[in-house]
């Protein structure tokens, strides 16, 4: 009798552990993360395999753009034209520097949105669909909730900081699973490079596309309020998983053990992924090759005011009056 009771207690404890994956995630020695929230989902069934704070409200940053792209395709065709407004062109970085009056196809702007995370492209598409970005955000919020993202509220089309804008790791995973059912969006997010309007090159911010064959597609995001966010799909043999991550201080380092954990839970374990993403370097004008270099301390270089997904350039130092006088004497 006592033996049976002990077995029942152990069974109950095991069931409780399985029903609270957040505790299991933190208790596991092989899962050590800086992220505030994550979800590992089976892409075929939609079942959450493991999670930590899956319903914690956090600003989504640019992962929101996946939802924007889905809603755009609910209303527009890929070859439809979009004229850029002054307000869309004035969107803060990251951006591709589209100008007022220019005309692009929906296809071009979707590639800019999902590869280069272009805030100006997001705003232009939003205005084309709903007349204004504010109206688009209201319409998008209603729509994503109808799709199952019940805890998501949006105030922009691009994920830039805004009051009353938040989502959850669970909602991101749910919406990404649906996004990959759009053939056009799946193709875009699987693409490394794309060119629009001639020689303007767009590069995908999802570095896993260069470092592991497991990567299928994904979208990154970052603001100071949200920290790093990410949602993406990975595949090994006949097993496919979706991983969403929010509030991370170091997304690539957090994601690698989650990818390994995901396939362990799917019964197809993989070797530990090496830390390649942080070492990946891209040339300014790149046409198809990426190089993994030794990690070096980055030098401060002057950059263009508008860069594809990068921070603003380092300002050039002003010359002192003393130096100006010397230079005048030399020129004379």
CB 149 within 8 A of CB 174: yes
- The mean per-residue pLDDT over the stretch 179-191 comes to 98
Residue 1 lies in a domain: no
Task: Give me the sign of the Cα torsion angle 236, 191, 108, 161.
Answer: positive
Q: How far apart are CA 218 and CA 161, in angstroms?
A: 21
- E strands, 96-210, are 103-105, 193-196, 200-203
The rounded percent of the chain whose pLDDT value lies above 90 is 73
pLDDT of residue 292: 42
Residue 71 lies in a domain: yes
pLDDT of residue 31: 72
20 pLDDT above the threshold of 90: no
- How many CA atoms does the CB half-sphere of 167 hold within 13 Å? 37
Residue 17 lies in a domain: no
60 pLDDT above the threshold of 80: yes
205 pLDDT above the threshold of 60: yes
- pLDDT (tens digit, 9 = 90+) per residue, 271-285? 999 999 999 998 764
Q: Domain residues for 65?
A: 22-278
Residue 91 lies in a domain: yes
The rounded percent of the chain whose pLDDT value lies above 70 is 76
- The mean per-residue pLDDT over the stretch 187-205 comes to 93
Residue 209 lies in a domain: yes
More reliable by pLDDT, 106 or 10: 106
Least-confidence region, from 21-35, 46-60, 183-197, 309-323: 309-323
Nearest to 309 by CA among 158, 162, 182: 158
pLDDT of residue 199: 79
pLDDT of residue 222: 97
pTM, 2 dp: 0.79
> Which tokens in the block code for residue 69?
């792209």
32 pLDDT above the threshold of 70: yes
Q: How many domains does the chain have?
A: 1
Residue 241 lies in a domain: yes
The DSSP bridge pattern shows strands 239-248 and 227-236 to be: antiparallel
Residue 198 lies in a domain: yes
Mean pLDDT of the chain: 84
153 pLDDT above the threshold of 90: yes
pLDDT of residue 284: 66
316 pLDDT above the threshold of 70: no
Residue 266 lies in a domain: yes
Helices vs strands, H then E, count in the chain = 12, 11
- What CATH number did the domain enclosing 273 receive? 3.40.710.10
DSSP annotation of 279 reads: G
């Amino acid at each position: 009798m006592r033996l049976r009771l002990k077995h029942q207690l152990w069974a109950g404890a095991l069931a409780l552990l399985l029903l609270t994956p957040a505790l299991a995630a933190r208790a596991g020695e092989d899962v050590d993360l800086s992220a505030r929230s994550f979800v590992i989902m089976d892409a075929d069934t939609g079942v959450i395999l493991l999670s930590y704070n899956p319903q914690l409200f956090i600003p989504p940053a640019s992962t929101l753009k996946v939802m924007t792209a889905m809603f755009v395709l609910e209303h527009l065709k890929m070859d439809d034209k979009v004229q850029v407004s002054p307000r869309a062109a004035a969107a803060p970085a990251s951006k591709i520097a589209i100008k007022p009056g220019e005309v692009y196809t929906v296809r071009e702007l979707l590639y800019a949105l999902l590869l280069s995370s272009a805030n100006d492209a997001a705003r232009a598409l939003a205005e084309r669909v709903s007349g204004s970005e504010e109206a688009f955000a209201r319409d998008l919020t209603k729509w994503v909730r109808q799709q199952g993202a019940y805890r998501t509220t949006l105030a922009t089309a691009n994920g830039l900081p805004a009051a009353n804008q938040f989502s959850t790791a669970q909602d991101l995973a749910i919406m990404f699973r649906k996004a990959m059912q759009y053939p056009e969006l799946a193709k875009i997010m699987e693409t490394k490079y794309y060119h629009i309007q001639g020689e303007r090159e767009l590069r995908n911010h999802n570095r896993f596309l260069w470092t592991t064959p497991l990567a299928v597609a994904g979208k990154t995001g970052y603001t100071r309020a949200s920290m790093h966010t990410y949602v993406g799909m990975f595949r090994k043999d006949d097993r496919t998983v979706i991983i969403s991550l929010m509030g991370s201080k170091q997304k690539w380092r957090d994601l690698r053990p989650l990818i390994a954990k995901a396939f362990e839970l799917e019964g197809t374990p993989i070797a530990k992924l090496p830390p390649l993403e942080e070492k990946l370097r891209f040339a300014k004008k790149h046409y198809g090759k990426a190089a993994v270099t030794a990690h070096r301390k980055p030098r401060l270089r002057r950059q263009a005011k508008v860069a594809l997904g990068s921070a603003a350039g380092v300002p050039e130092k002003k010359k002192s009056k003393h130096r100006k006088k010397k230079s005048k004497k030399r020129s004379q």
